Structure 1
Amino acid sequence: MVWADVALSKHPRFANNVRDNLSGVSLMLRAVTRLRKPDLHALFGLHVRARGAWVESPDRADAVFAADRGLTPFDPDRVAADYL
């Protein structure tokens, strides 16, 4: 199952359903299911290449991306808001 909360028309009516919006639903489903996102390593690697440099020690870093400190994989809202 894929949940996608999308608006299908500019002026939705009470009967806003798949049958009345089949072309829009079809396009949205293709877009949602074919969307490719980078994994976290690739995403943060791109940010490092664009904005800074790798450092050997986390103590010398302006931003830390790790499993146990700084920005972690357990902060998906922050990753999405600040890095995607």
Structure 2
Amino acid sequence: MCAGIRPAVFDLVGREVVWADVALSKHPRFANNVRNNLSGVSGMLRAVTQLRKTDLHTLFGLHVRARGEAVDDLDRADAVFAVDRGLTPFDLDRIAADYL
């Protein structure tokens, strides 16, 4: 995907932006627009807007249950999921690569 290009869907009724996690070719060989790709774009929009995604608390809870146990002492933790240390909600690339 081209650096800086982040496809998104703008929900004008709900007043929100939905990031469309889709791959776009860097240099398409044909006009890459909705008119030329209507069926594919329609399916992609349905998938992006209707996909039910889990929240991070549930995702990491599933990993804890599958791989070990939750601990209260940070020194005993193999991995830390927190807002201010370890793996944070802002580490989206790492979360996608290692936990999804």
TM-score range (shorter-chain normalised) is 0.7 to 0.9
Partner of residue 67 from structure 1, selected from 56, 75, 83: 83
Q: Report 1:4-19 matches (<5 A).
A: 4=20, 5-6=22-23, 13-19=29-35
Could you tell me which runs of 5 or more consecutive residues in structure 2 were left unpaired when the two chains were aligned.
1-9, 11-17
Counterpart residue number, 2:57: 41
Which of these two proteins has the greater Rg computed from alpha carbons? 1
Structure with the bigger percentage of strand: 2
Percent identity among equivalent residues?
79
Q: CA RMSD in A?
A: 1.9
Aligned to 1:23: 39
Question: Residues of 2 paired with 1:27 and 1:45: CA distance?
Answer: 31
Number of equivalent positions = 80
Residue 6 of structure 1 and its aligned partner are, at CA, apart by 4.4
TM-score by length of 1: 0.78
Once the 2 structures are TM-superposed, how far is the Cα of residue 13 of structure 1 from its aligned partner?
4.6
Note the residue ranges of structure 1 that are not aligned, 5 or more in a row.
none
Cα offset, 1:73, TM superposition: 1.4
1:79 aligns with 2:82: no
Quick one: higher RCO (CA 8 Å, sep 6+), 1 or 2? 1
Q: CA deviation at 1:35?
A: 1.5
Instruction: Kindly state the Cα deviation for residue 41 of structure 1 after the two structures are TM-superposed.
Output: 0.6
Q: TM-score, normalised by structure 2?
A: 0.67
Instruction: List, as ranges, runs of 4+ consecutive aligned residues in structure 1 with deviation greater than 3 Å.
Output: 2-7
- More helix per residue: 1
Alpha-carbon distance in 2 for matches of 1:56, 1:3: 34
